[in-house]
Structure 1
């Protein structure tokens, strides 16, 4: 019979770790990241719409300057953001790992917002060359957004909630794009003119930076707002409780570069991101010009029609998120099956819509808008597919993995608008646009196929640092000896 004084009840801190509040600080972090993405994409997409007014020879608003830039110059400007974006991709992931995501993200968004405010003056003072230079600097700053957000999510998102929190964050780009394209036409024709598109997006970035400074945190352990119960819930779910060796942050871990690049599941995500970025950024940068030139829509109608696909993307993204969470909770699908199903929806449905877009005539504007809406809307499936799969493979190095895949994807983001500039020499010719949509469809197909065949959601062995694994082996051996 056991002595009465022995108490087998778990301590309160371990009880707290078994469940967490339904709504907590982890959700606040996801909402803040949502708006961080929102303002970042407002700044990315502002030129796509503003350039239509800036080059409008029919005087959208005669009170503001217009520029006689060629189609090739326009394509150069639209791709220039990604030159700086590409250069800093790998370093940005390392910076997030070394200094924490909060500070790096804060600096990136705040400086990018300031540069957006200066863009109208750059066009007046230095024509397209200075504008191009500012866009390169903006890309340089915004290169940190995805890697730092992934690093932060890796520390805040319990595995059971990873899909829903990631999908919430990655709905931000669509919302930001909707805001810019939705109000941009009104702004361009208002008394404030096309420069106000840049002022609004830049100002929102500055405001968000102040809020993030006050409320953002790298991890639950560093948050001043979180309750002990929620902190223990998150840390226990991530298997990072109590022991001193587990208290080390990823800033102290050595990045296993060779193991990462030898990982077949990770390499499939690189291919996936390249195909996705080609299609997504071709659509984002070219839809306003396509609608204006092929279907002769004015700037206000153009803005609303250009925003419609991203409204669908946002709505479908939230629906996919809820559906994926429901299927996983009910154990209808495994984690990897869910990732592959939704990623295929996010890439192969847009592939089919792009093929159809290349086959329609210039006298079918309504059908074109429907197909564009389907193509961009279904893209959101990747938010709960390949995008969150990076965290599945390695929560500790999620920021670094994101920076690598984003580096590869950014190359496509640079090349895609330039290819449009080479092929589409007459923007009113639908036959030239046909080749653009066929190329998009091909890249969507090639990008998703390796992930569908070889993708995995298993935690990779290199997620744990070597020294930690060695220590655990030693502890296990000591326990066996004592036994």
Structure 2
């Protein structure tokens, strides 16, 4: 997650020095509209690649089924292969960004579209892996721990960018380093990664059985057709979709525009801008690791149900930032400290969503968490395209705090509406369409356990052995 966010965030960090005259590095006279198109173009490809068109593929007649359908590449080729190849290709594309910038902003947009296409596989693949690997009694902490790499990756790339920009490499060095690390990681992942416990070469039988018994996912899901009609008829799915869209709008609005806001409104230099822009994401990464064990503890002790926990923490993660953005709308360059504090809180408190909508796909359907993530991430990705374009349309003068106030108020309104829908329609119980019809009795038993909301974590080695 860290490495893949290097690929996503490097353009947000580099866009400021790319359009300013600095010693030893080329710069380009791109206006606000051009920069908005560059920042949003990543998501054009990102949306397209989320859910490859479902079609039917023939399997040998000796198989147990005549055909099967796939909603995602990960279901057909395995999440390990798709994620590794996508990360490597994204890294290679990073190397060509400086050359593309020299050709014009349109060329940068083309590269960002291709980067978005390969990055679109990341969340569905990771969700597919998590559904196979993470026991439900540890779902909050382990899933959040992995996804916190997104925040730490964002923070690392932003905080180091200032030093890279001032080095002999200049801003092109940011893309070269991102690309090199991506390719290196992909090679390591091909060597050590595994799609599920059953195919991991070094896992013990006891650990494999323990994980498989507590994930709610099974190896047969690889050949099970995705129940799209049931998914799209589920109110819980639409509540989840709304929460995902709200988070994505707010997160990417701040991610893509924060360096510009700090430079133009708060009047911070490039190095200070880079460090302070990274601070909110460090805060979010740390808070992710704080709130997730609290969520698991409350659930495993039976204090609150899983559904209540998801709604509670998601509300903290979206309504809290909403309040911060309202206050931020009235900050000026004379109030740098308060503005930075509110920005840090607005992003940091988003950590609550890591125990909310982000793992709700796995709650609803361990077998089809990846395809569901592909759908919600794809639709939410549309908001990632729209958000920078809306900002570009509003900001005629990037130094005018009143125009930024409108941007922050719109973002706060999106948080308010989307999380309200999640609170009304959201659920965190395994849905009946998660299993094949022949497994309906097992499904009924699991739902009864989930609804009782008193799943107890193993407390001894004896418990682990079952």
- In structure 2, the residue matched to 1:110 is 88
Residue in structure 1 matching 2:100, options 105, 115, 122: 122
What whole-Å deviation, never above 9, does each CA across 1:245-273 have from its counterpart, x for those lacking one?
x642x220111111001111111011111
The Cα of 1:362 is off from its aligned counterpart by 3.4
User: Any unmatched runs of 5+ in structure 1?
Assistant: 1-36, 241-245, 474-483
Separation (CA, whole Å) in 2 of partners of 1:157 and 1:370: 35
Separation (CA, whole Å) in 2 of partners of 1:362 and 1:270: 37
Contact 1:79 1:415 in 2 (8 A): yes
Residue in structure 2 matching 1:339, options 307, 310, 314: 310
1:48 has 2:25 as partner: no
User: Any unmatched runs of 5+ in structure 2?
Assistant: 54-70, 445-466
The Cα of 1:333 is off from its aligned counterpart by 1.8
Separation (CA, whole Å) in 1 of partners of 2:42 and 2:284: 23
- In structure 1, the residue matched to 2:126 is 149
Contact 2:280 2:348 in 1 (8 A): yes
Contact 1:99 1:251 in 2 (8 A): no
What whole-Å deviation, never above 9, does each CA across 1:1-37 have from its counterpart, x for those lacking one?
xxxxxxxxxxxxxxxxxxxxxxxxxxxxxxxxxxxx1
The Cα of 1:392 is off from its aligned counterpart by 0.4
The Cα of 1:472 is off from its aligned counterpart by 10
Residue in structure 2 matching 1:68, options 26, 29, 44: 29
1:396 has 2:367 as partner: yes
TM-score (norm 1): 0.86
1:290 has 2:241 as partner: no
- In structure 2, the residue matched to 1:230 is 207
Separation (CA, whole Å) in 2 of partners of 1:155 and 1:356: 42
- In structure 2, the residue matched to 1:6 is none
Q: Which runs of 4+ in 1 moved over 6 A?
A: 470-473
- In structure 2, the residue matched to 1:253 is 224
Separation (CA, whole Å) in 2 of partners of 1:103 and 1:461: 30
What whole-Å deviation, never above 9, does each CA across 1:418-449 have from its counterpart, x for those lacking one?
11111001111111111000000000001101
What whole-Å deviation, never above 9, does each CA across 1:37-90 have from its counterpart, x for those lacking one?
10111111111111100101xx33x21110000110000000000000011111
Residue in structure 2 matching 1:205, options 179, 182, 193: 182
TM-score (norm 2): 0.89
What whole-Å deviation, never above 9, does each CA across 1:142-171 have from its counterpart, x for those lacking one?
000000100111111111111111101110
- In structure 2, the residue matched to 1:32 is none
Separation (CA, whole Å) in 2 of partners of 1:413 and 1:362: 28
Residues 266, 191 of structure 1: alpha-carbon distance in 2 compared, 3 angstrom cutoff: same
The Cα of 1:239 is off from its aligned counterpart by 5.4
Residue in structure 2 matching 1:89, options 18, 41, 50: 50
What whole-Å deviation, never above 9, does each CA across 1:312-348 have from its counterpart, x for those lacking one?
1011111111211222232222211111111011000
1:461 has 2:432 as partner: yes
Separation (CA, whole Å) in 2 of partners of 1:295 and 1:156: 44
Count of residues in correspondence between the two structures: 427
Residue in structure 1 matching 2:350, options 379, 388, 391: 379
Separation (CA, whole Å) in 2 of partners of 1:470 and 1:178: 47
Residues 51, 469 of structure 1: alpha-carbon distance in 2 compared, 3 angstrom cutoff: same
- In structure 1, the residue matched to 2:292 is 321
Separation (CA, whole Å) in 2 of partners of 1:206 and 1:193: 21
Superposed, 1:1-40 pairs within 5 Å as 37-40=1-4
1:221 has 2:160 as partner: no
SS at match of 1:137: helix
Contact 2:4 2:182 in 1 (8 A): yes
Residues 116, 239 of structure 1: alpha-carbon distance in 2 compared, 3 angstrom cutoff: closer
What whole-Å deviation, never above 9, does each CA across 1:354-375 have from its counterpart, x for those lacking one?
1111122332111110000000
Residue in structure 2 matching 1:311, options 256, 263, 282: 282
1:168 has 2:145 as partner: yes
Contact 1:177 1:310 in 2 (8 A): yes
Residues 471, 457 of structure 1: alpha-carbon distance in 2 compared, 3 angstrom cutoff: closer
The Cα of 1:469 is off from its aligned counterpart by 4.1
Q: CA RMSD in A?
A: 1.6
Separation (CA, whole Å) in 2 of partners of 1:200 and 1:435: 36
Separation (CA, whole Å) in 1 of partners of 2:47 and 2:421: 23
- In structure 2, the residue matched to 1:131 is 108
Residues 472, 158 of structure 1: alpha-carbon distance in 2 compared, 3 angstrom cutoff: closer
Residues 467, 351 of structure 1: alpha-carbon distance in 2 compared, 3 angstrom cutoff: same
Contact 1:89 1:407 in 2 (8 A): yes
